Structure 1
Amino acid sequence: MRRLACAVLTLVLLALIPAPAIADASADGLPDAHVVPGDRAFPTGMTYDRRTGHFYVGSAEDGTIYRGHVTRRDLEVWSPDGTDGRRVTSGMALDRAGRLYVGGADTATLRVYDVRTRRLLATLHGTGGGFVNEIAVAGDGTVYATDSFRPVVYRITERDGDWRIENWLDVAATPVDWVDGRHNLNGVIAVGRHLLTVNSATGSLWRIDPRDGETVEVDLGGHRLHNGDGLAWRDGRLYAVQGNLNQIPGLVPQVAVVAMPPDLDRGRYVARYVPPGGFRHPSSIVLTPARVMVVNSQYDRWLAGLPPVTPFTVSSMRLGAAEPVTG
């Protein structure tokens, strides 16, 4: 993403938009926004630990990892910048064994931590010049990660403490509509026996079969998930974050809800989430039992060198409170 430029006029206008108000709590007693500490946090990836209610958020500015709880307004520093040589983060994921996977963005690295002890378990290296971005854990425990600048999907495995990362899928050999010099495959999620991933540059959604790498475009009926970023899944619905990165005219940053059948070959855009006051370049998403939580990264401002609007926040919206869409 660091290589992409934002439109100057649009960003100047963004600088004039007031920050959304932060409510203490909604009717269910949960915060409507969680505050990420620091004047330069620029939060990016996020993952949720359903066992404890904690969630973890990384930083695009440096290597800090923050931890919050769904019942508390304020996050805290869980692992400081520079720990284990970490200087930037991107996507995150947690597996059932309590291992935290942290993407290293344009350092083309991926680190694995024991979330209980905070001990580094592995530092893995992807393709040089790549951007290790979002991460998904499949039902069998295999981990997959997108590279937004190199046409590859990584597969991460572990056996008896031996960690491996491989260039599993050659995206150039698939039908994926890759755009050189742009931010391509981004959000990825495991659903049943497939992976779903979105191309930020084109808004196309792709279904990948981990058994043989077969990759097919999901038929969205002409709809596009432009600027698609983090993905989440619940009860036949895909939740896709759409930010500001490519400056699509008329696109309001949102979480698009797409209804999909079990075989994931098609989808229909049926609803969206936009919090009061709007998002500030949303990037990552998690679903808790009651909430849709979305990181306000302000990554567009970071790219342009504009001062952030503080405090940095994670928006929290009641699950089921989406706005229906028609057409």
Structure 2
Amino acid sequence: MSQLPEGRTVERSFARREVLGAAAAIGSAALLGPAAGAARAASPGSWPTRFPLPNGFQPEGIAIGRSPYAWCGSIADGDVYRASLATGRGRIVVEGLGAGRSVIGLKIDRQERRLFLSGGFSREIRVADARSGEMVRLFTVGAEGTMVNDVVLTPGAAWFTDSFRPQLYRLALDRRGEPAHEVATLPLGGAWEQGTDFTANGIARTPDGSALLVVNTVVEGGSLMRVDPRDGIARRVDLADLAIPFGDGLLLIGRHLYIVQQRLNQVDVVRLNAAGTRGRPVARITDPRFRIPTTAAAWGDRIYLPNARFDVPPTPDTEYDVVAVDQVTG
């Protein structure tokens, strides 16, 4: 979902990725939490539009469910921090597995029972109990060099991107949302181009729920790809003249797709057709508080973004935060 600055390393070279997101699962807009449910409720004006994360946390992904809480994952050690949107206060609710076992992308299911975590270069896909913090599933996928990056939830599966291999991972979910005991791999084809380095980034669903949308940092210097979940065939989404060289996390609300362009410190908003084959740029969000935001999640009329600060060396004392901006209307 994001890119670290040149010359820095986290496990391997995070430095060359335009990497890693988050966002909300939407399909037939009422299916999954943050975007569909949150868009209907107004955020109280007294709630903070910025709140701190623990020093040294190194955030990347963010998720918001049906309740007004933000869940953020740590690149540093895989901790998950939950903060109240009403007060900005929070605590660690999932203890990480240690250095080298990051949490990059994450999502929470609509029951707010399970957290689905992307493990970066550890090659792990993890499912944690959102209430107890215990790990209930842990899978190792891919091969040497794999980076499990971002995740999106659909009614029947959790889908994960691999930034260094042309494939997605599918963790099936039953009717109760219970995850399967194995992960399937879907090779990517069609117009998908795999670079020699970091390629796949954020992932979301099309407005009609028929396909997946994945950021590709290689095609045309950075493009949005529509992937058929049945066969992995990818087609480039027509975004008119919009370029997304630093496309990171994706957030879909109705037909508005928010594309976080982290190193540009901006969020581009496009209005998609139902099938997600083309989109029209409608807005660009900038804010002086942006310090390389990576992913986005929604609550009420706001969009919340963690500042990853990939332009500064991470230390135990480095400050991190989450900022909120208004959604685009009309």
Query: TM (normalized to structure 1)?
Result: 0.80
Contact 2:2 2:201 in 1 (8 A): no
Check 1:158–1:281 CA distance in 2 against 1; reply closer, same or farther (3 A cut).
Answer: same
Partner of residue 150 from structure 2, selected from 125, 134, 156: 134
Partner of residue 216 from structure 2, selected from 191, 194, 199: 199
Q: Which residue matches 1:178?
A: 194
Cα distance, 1:178 vs structure 2:
2.1
1:257-268 equivalences in 2 (<5 Å): 257-268=269-280
1:253-292 equivalences in 2 (<5 Å): 253-275=265-287, 277-292=288-303
Partner of residue 169 from structure 2, selected from 120, 143, 154: 154
Cα distance, 1:212 vs structure 2:
3.2
Say whether 1:164 aligns with 2:164: no
Check 1:210–1:27 CA distance in 2 against 1; reply closer, same or farther (3 A cut).
Answer: closer
Q: Which residue matches 2:324?
A: 316
CA-atom RMSD, angstroms? 2.7
Q: Could you tell me which amino acid in structure 2 is paired with residue 136 of structure 1?
A: V
Say whether 1:187 aligns with 2:195: no
Check 1:4–1:296 CA distance in 2 against 1; reply closer, same or farther (3 A cut).
Answer: closer
Partner of residue 30 from structure 1, selected from 47, 55, 58: 47
SS state at 1:193 partner? coil
Q: Which residue matches 1:295?
A: 306
Q: d(CA) in 2 for partners of 1:33 and 1:307?
A: 21
Q: How many residues in Structure 1 have an aligned counterpart in Structure 2?
A: 288
Check 1:312–1:285 CA distance in 2 against 1; reply closer, same or farther (3 A cut).
Answer: same
Q: Which residue matches 1:219?
A: 238
Of all paired residues, the percent bearing the same amino acid is 29
Instruction: Return 5+ residue gaps in structure 2 as ranges.
Output: 9-14, 16-42
Q: d(CA) in 1 for partners of 2:306 and 2:52?
A: 10
- Higher RCO by CA contacts (8 Å cutoff, separation 6 or greater): 2
Cα distance, 1:211 vs structure 2:
2.9
SS state at 1:163 partner? coil
SS state at 2:205 partner? strand
Partner of residue 103 from structure 1, selected from 98, 118, 129: 118
Contact 1:37 1:75 in 2 (8 A): no
Contact 1:36 1:76 in 2 (8 A): no
CA displacement 1:118-140 (0-9 Å, x = unmatched): 221100111122000000111x2
1:12-51 equivalences in 2 (<5 Å): 28-38=45-55, 40-50=56-66
Contact 1:273 1:321 in 2 (8 A): no
Q: Could you tell me which amino acid in structure 1 is paired with residue 160 of structure 2?
A: A
Q: d(CA) in 2 for partners of 1:93 and 1:3?
A: 20
Query: TM (normalized to structure 2)?
Result: 0.79
Q: Could you tell me which amino acid in structure 1 is paired with residue 103 of structure 2?
A: T
Q: d(CA) in 2 for partners of 1:81 and 1:208?
A: 32
Q: d(CA) in 1 for partners of 2:179 and 2:242?
A: 44
CA displacement 1:233-292 (0-9 Å, x = unmatched): 112110010012xxxxxxx311110111112111122211222x2411111110112211
